[in-house]
Amino acid sequence: MISIAPVRKQVTVAASQQQAFALFTEGMSRWWPATHSTLKSPLKQYVVEPRVGGRWYAVAEDGSTGQTGYVIEWQPPQRLVLAWQLSADWQFDPELVTEVDIRFIAESDSSTRVELEHRNLQRMGERAAQIRGMVDAPGGWTAVLESFKKCATA
């Protein structure tokens, strides 16, 4: 099995743990890089529904939405784990789950270290292989073509 190293990043911010957690979640639209969106229309809002199982999605200016994933862990103000469900070709895939684990570590009342880890990236490759396998399997395109052939020759 292919293993791929997780992406790890950290940043120290001049804010309390509560402020940092709030901006990261409720305030995501204010800092999410606007250039990085899977939507065709400009990004208007990025929403993290504040509960386990809540959806994580983007809303474009034209009203269209695009889901990125869902909330796996919701532990304000210490920790947040989000499921990133965009495949290697940037499509939302409900069967794919890669995790973005974000920890907010209070260094003082006004300083917080934010550690982010995006892991299980190899699942993107496994899922791509699985989809290819489904298409190639007897129940996939072969079955569709067989049934087409039957109808066409009947």
Partner 1 sequence: MTYQAAFLALADPTRRQVFEQLRHGPKAVGVIAAQMPVSRPAVSQHLGVLKKAGLVADRAEGTRRVYYIDPQGLASIRIWLDQFWGDALTAFKAELDKEGSGK
Residues near partner 1 (CB under 8 A): 2, 4-5, 7, 9-15, 19-20, 23-24, 27, 30-33, 35-36, 40, 87-90, 114, 116, 118, 121-122, 124-125, 128
81 and 54 Cβ atoms separated by less than 8 Å: no
User: How many C-beta atoms surround the C-beta of residue 28 within 10 A?
Assistant: 15
Task: Name the minimum Å distance from CB 78 to partner 1.
Answer: 17
Nearer to partner 1, 49 or 117 (CB): 117
Task: Name the minimum Å distance from CB 47 to partner 1.
Answer: 16
SS3 state at 93: coil
Nearer to partner 1, 35 or 153 (CB): 35
Task: Name the minimum Å distance from CB 124 to partner 1.
Answer: 6
Nearer to partner 1, 1 or 154 (CB): 1
CA distance 34 to 109: 30
Cβ burial 103-139 (10 Å sphere, 16+ → b, else e): bbeeeeeeebebebebbbbebbeebeeeeeeeeeeee
Task: Name the minimum Å distance from CB 99 to partner 1.
Answer: 12
Nearer to partner 1, 88 or 143 (CB): 88
Task: Name the minimum Å distance from CB 143 to partner 1.
Answer: 24
Report which DSSP code applies to 126. H
Q: What is the dihedral of CA 46, 47, 48, 50, to 10 degrees?
A: 150
Nearer to partner 1, 49 or 93 (CB): 93
Alpha helices by DSSP H, listed for the chain, are: 17-25, 28-31, 122-136, 143-153
